Chain A
Amino acid sequence: MQYDLIIIGGGPAGLAAAVSAKKEGVENILILERDRELGGILNQCIHNGFGLHTFKEELTGPEYAWRFIQQVEELQIPYKLHTMVLDIRDGENGKTVMAMNREDGLMMLTARAVILAMGCRERPRGALNIPGYRPAGIYTAGTAQRLVNMEGYMPGREVVILGSGDIGLIMARRMTLEGAKVKVVAELMPFSGGLQRNIVQCLDDFDIPLKLSHTVIDIQGKERVTGITLAEVDENRKPIPGTEEFYACDTLLLSCGLIPENELSGKIGVELSRITSGPVVNESLETNVPGVFACGNVLHVHDLVDYVSEEAARAGACAAAYIRGEKEKEDTKEIPVFAVDGVRYTVPQTIRPACMEDTLTLRFRVGAVYRDCYVSVYLGDRRIWHKKKRKLAPGEMEQVVLKKSDLTDRESFDKITVKVEEA
């Protein structure tokens, strides 16, 4: 089967990309979704707080997803559910996508462009190297969220949560409201990775203690978890002897970070960033493989879904332009963006000024908490952006908006630098 555009993933990124590409005139689109319905992880995020930027109202995850699913239905964009993509290859006739499901069997689909929108996964216990037994009752927060919110089962009664990422905080409240006892949330870092609002409304409202600079150093229980041991950590994140505290519990939930899921991207030769674990992209959200675009949490882990939608819409529009054959960019100058002095990474990582829209939102995260500082952008040695920030934190995605005129009108420069500067 031949398509203009195949979008891998039917979550918030894939949906927004599809809607935007269709509106930009791409006719022949196919969305491939591995789960039983469109909407991705939003379907299990039944809490509210989504959509304040996009729709100017507070929606729950399923409601937010529905706004986009509706558009996909109205625009009659075809999609396949329960469909897993096994491989993508680049060829003379475009990209070949090998996918399969029950009904269609194994499919070899071709497309002129592909948008990667596979999302991310959670860091499991094994990757955290927590010592102890390996009993039942250890779940990532997202797995527990699916069990509770979509399957209607309780994974535990007495719970300790490691990691204060938003999913962990949300699940602390959710489990509490379903009658479980959440004893403590422990966070390795000296600050929470979650939103302030979630700390107040998910922990403080229910008197659940948050222990910063703490980690789990032992898991007890041979069959089912019977308890865990927490310890305080020093500035090198090493447990401090003598600070051990035992918590009896039957469940340990982990909310210790998300990892973009790019195993598929590697198969078509997409270059990945060591910092974001997502593809390296240019201003058009295009990877090093022409015609392969990326957006959403597969590109870099976002804090708000609104930004995913916005980014994905741009990926859709850029893919449309690619399919229309615009932006022949062979000779265009491509300028690297460097993230230094507290800025961990930027997306995009390169910019071709000639291919920019009038403005370009550059998103980034910082590596530590900063107060009363400046975010600056330099073109070569010339500073073009300098904004005071009361606070910067690793949990929050930051952004700067570049103007095309700034990048094209002035003298030449060979690098763009984004940094945190002291006041």
Chain B
Amino acid sequence: METRELICINCPLGCSLTVTMENGAVKKVEGNTCKKGEAYGTKEVTNPTRIVTSSVRVTGGTLPVVSVKTASDIPKGKIYDCAKALKTVAVNAPVHIGDVVLKNVCGTGVDMIATKNIPAVSK
């Protein structure tokens, strides 16, 4: 039996959660005031995930940088790898919201996509 102390992030209440686990499986979540808290506690100890956002340089655009994000959440443990993978990325304008700037980032199966439109500089 092991326990993890967490603070729920679903709402401003910020409930202090205690998650009890046995052999990697969640036995119980305590301290939550709603179901969302239980779900959060369970996910956070078994498979925590995050959306990663960043920005990369653009060539030939009206602005020098375009913001990007993972199209969906990726394992929390991959955040640094994901940030590192982006270091080799630069894109050419024009860029559109939703354009893939890096496919299958760090083998997560998730693409990194642009979150902003950057028109090309008119010549």
Contact = CB atoms under 8 A, between A and B. Distances in A.
Interface of A: 36-37, 43, 46-48, 58-63, 66, 148-152, 174, 177-178, 195-197, 199-201, 205, 390-391, 393, 395-396
Interface in B1-58: 6-9, 11-14, 33, 50-55, 57
Which bucket holds chain B's interface residue count? 20 to 34
Contact of A205 (B12, B50, B63): B50
Nearest to B54: A177
Given A152-B64, A391-B13, A43 B83 contact: no
30 contacts: A36-B63, A46-B54, A46-B67, A46-B115, A47-B53, A48-B53, A59-B115, A60-B67, A61-B67, A62-B67, A62-B116, A63-B97, A66-B116, A148-B55, A149-B65, A149-B67, A151-B64, A151-B65, A152-B64, A174-B54, A177-B52, A195-B9, A195-B12, A196-B8, A196-B11, A197-B9, A200-B6, A201-B50, A390-B13, A395-B12
A36 B68 CA distance: 20
Interface of B: 6-9, 11-14, 33, 50-55, 57, 63-65, 67-69, 76, 79-80, 83, 97, 115-117
Contacts of B53: 46-48, 60
A389 to B, nearest CB: 9
B115 A149 contact: no
Given A37-B63, A152-B55, A152-B64, 4 more contacts: A48-B69, A60-B115, A66-B116, A149-B67
Contacts of B83: 177-178
B50 A196 contact: no
Contacts of A396: 12
B77 to A, nearest CB: 10
